[in-house]
Amino acid sequence: MDICIVHYGEIGTKGKNRAFFEKKLVENISRFAKAKRRFGWIEVEYYEGIEEKLRKTPGIRYFGVGYKTDLDMSAIKSAVLKALPEKFESFKISASRRNKKFPLNSIEINRELGRAVVETTGKKVDLENPDVTVWVEICENFALVYSKRIEGIGGLPVGCAGRVVSLVSGGIDSPVASFLAMKRGCEAVLVHFFNRTLHSAEVRKKIVMLAEKLAEYQGSIKLYMIPFEEVQMEIIRIVPPKLRMVVYRRSMMRMANMIAEKERAKAIVTGDNISQVASQTLDNLNVIYAASKLAVLPPLLGFDKEEIVGLAKKIGTYEISILPYEDCCSLMVAKHPETRARKEIIEEFEEFEELEKSAVEKGETVEVSCSTTEVGSFRR
Ligand code: ATP
Ligand code: MG
């Protein structure tokens, strides 16, 4: 194989911004391969294993893996023969002609190439339900030929929508939420709050593993690990158990906003899902989200748990999320938590700003990429 022919969906409809989206996608692909912007598609140099990377790059609807040839029928014919798999019984040629100066139209190209394949291989044409389809795209100065077409994840290139702070717990939901934000073009900065006095080494390992998995979709990812046992202790000291969860989540919101300011992020993403747990009633979400200056986006809003689990399995975070870990929330959970929190009452208890600031300052940042992990300390 010579090249990958990358096609994007939605970017194509973005009018004047199209070039911006295309350049972003080229930039993102360039992190792992040689890529060049063409008219309406992107040319990517092939190497073994690249399929897996392209399959995980947001913004790609599908891509072909095949050959680039000269613009003449005999060159195209041999590329078609090369592109055929070893075993098949029936086939179909599907030509499209972007270059209208090419002497044959697409129906004529289909016929001529079809005839050549029948003569050489003895296989039969089946337009309805072929074992193999060979796509032929006639461009300005060359032709593209491929029989292998792979679905991408769609969406928009990471970064074109700006940056978000995505709150990840060690659970199943929040990594899926981060992924969905990335899929819509957001560059996610991950934030995890943890308690250093509880099994923190294991928790850290697990969260870094989740970040590494998510980095496969984003290229690289910055993770903030915020030790917040002091805030937690203070909450336990002054807030009645029934209200702790909401207070605790509001506190996370405020710290997430502090990080967003440093990172110039424009929104906060959470793994909330309406009514899944007590903290996610509409009354509680209202009170929790009111603690954020920035818009709070919960991409899982309308998903059922099985759908979330299905997606988590598909993107590869599920296996990591189900590893056992000490959830620092469990300290906070009352047997019968408030399901209808009221902001005025909650606010009476909240005097944690200094502790929150200091927790964020003590935070550590980890630069995670799919292959290497560098650990640095965060202080400014
Ligand atoms: P998840 O499966 O993502 O843990 P959940 O259904 O268990 O979600 P909660 O535990 O109430 O729900 O958390 C709701 C959201 O709050 C999470 O999806 C995540 O975005 C954020 N969150 C909860 N705990 C933490 C934490 N320790 N660090 C960072 N974010 C958190
Ligand atoms: Mg959870």
* Residue ranges of domains in the chain: 3-151, 162-377
CATH topology of domain 162-377: Rossmann fold (3.40.50)
Region 295-308: mean pLDDT is 96
Cα–Cα distance, 195 to 315 (Å, whole number): 28
Cα–Cα distance, 229 to 317 (Å, whole number): 26
pLDDT at 376 over 50: no
- Going from the Cα of 171 to the center of ligand 1, the distance in angstroms, rounded, reads 7
374, with CB counted inside 10 A (0-12, 13-18, 19+), is exposed
Residue carrying the six token digits 């337009």: 127
How does residue 271 score in pLDDT terms, banded at 50, 70 and 90? very high
- Going from the Cα of 169 to the center of ligand 2, the distance in angstroms, rounded, reads 6
Taking CA atoms only, the protein residue closest to ligand 1 atom 26 is: 169
Any ligand 1 atom below 6 A from CB of 284: no
Look at residues 154, 99, 151, 146 and name the one whose alpha carbon lies nearest to residue 5: 146
- The hierarchical CATH code for the domain 3-151 is 3.30.2130.30
- Going from the Cα of 191 to the center of ligand 2, the distance in angstroms, rounded, reads 14
Sign (positive/negative) of CA torsion 373, 153, 18, 294?
A: negative
Q: How many residues comprise the chain?
A: 380
Cα–Cα distance, 73 to 79 (Å, whole number): 10
Cα–Cα distance, 249 to 334 (Å, whole number): 14
Region 190-195: mean pLDDT is 96
Highest mean pLDDT among 196-200, 311-315, 345-349: 311-315
Give me the DSSP letters along 66-124.
EEEE-SSHHHHHHHHHHHS-SS-SEEEEEEEES-TTSSS-HHHHHHHHHHHHHHHH--E
Q: Are 224 and 189 in contact (CB under 8 A)?
A: yes
pLDDT at 97 over 60: yes
Mean pLDDT of the chain: 91
Any ligand 1 atom below 6 A from CB of 78: no
Q: Over the stretch 115-146, which tens digit does the pLDDT of each residue have? A: 999 999 999 999 999 999 999 999 999 999 99
pLDDT at 181 over 80: yes
User: Could you tell me the CA-to-CA distances from 170 to 54, 189, 204, 206 in Å, in that order?
Assistant: 27, 15, 10, 7
Nearest atom in ligand 1 to 191's CA: 29
pLDDT of the residue at 104: 96
pLDDT of the residue at 330: 60
Cα–Cα distance, 303 to 271 (Å, whole number): 11
User: Could you tell me the CA-to-CA distances from 296 to 2, 52, 77 in Å, in that order?
Assistant: 44, 32, 54
Q: What percent of the chain has pLDDT over 90?
A: 78
Residue carrying the six token digits 């007590």: 278
pLDDT of the residue at 379: 31
Any ligand 1 atom below 6 A from CB of 223: no
Any ligand 1 atom below 6 A from CB of 169: yes
DSSP assignment, residue 190?
Answer: E
Longest dimension (CA), the chain: 84
pLDDT of the residue at 372: 42
Residue carrying the six token digits 């990080």: 259
pLDDT of the residue at 148: 93
pLDDT at 198 over 60: yes
pLDDT at 373 over 70: no
Q: Over the stretch 15-64, which tens digit does the pLDDT of each residue have? A: 778 889 999 999 999 999 999 999 889 999 999 999 999 999 999 999 99
Answer yes or no: pTM beyond 0.85: yes
Look at residues 104, 41, 100 and name the one whose alpha carbon lies nearest to residue 68: 41
How does residue 83 score in pLDDT terms, banded at 50, 70 and 90? very high
One fold for 3-151 and 162-377: no
Half-sphere exposure of 136 (CA within 13 A, CB side): 35
- Going from the Cα of 168 to the center of ligand 2, the distance in angstroms, rounded, reads 9
Q: What percent of the chain has pLDDT over 70?
A: 94
**Ligand lying closest to the C-alpha of residue 245:** 1
Q: Over the stretch 205-248, which tens digit does the pLDDT of each residue have? A: 999 999 999 999 999 999 999 999 999 999 999 999 899 999 99
Helix (H) or strand (E) holding 252: helix 241-263
Nearest atom in ligand 1 to 321's CA: 2
First to last CA, the chain: 49
Nearest atom in ligand 1 to 166's CA: 20
**Ligand lying closest to the C-alpha of residue 188:** 1
Q: Are 90 and 123 in contact (CB under 8 A)?
A: yes
Q: Over the stretch 150-164, which tens digit does the pLDDT of each residue have? A: 999 999 999 999 999
pLDDT of the residue at 232: 93
Half-sphere exposure of 258 (CA within 13 A, CB side): 19
The strand pair at 3-7 and 62-69 is best described as antiparallel
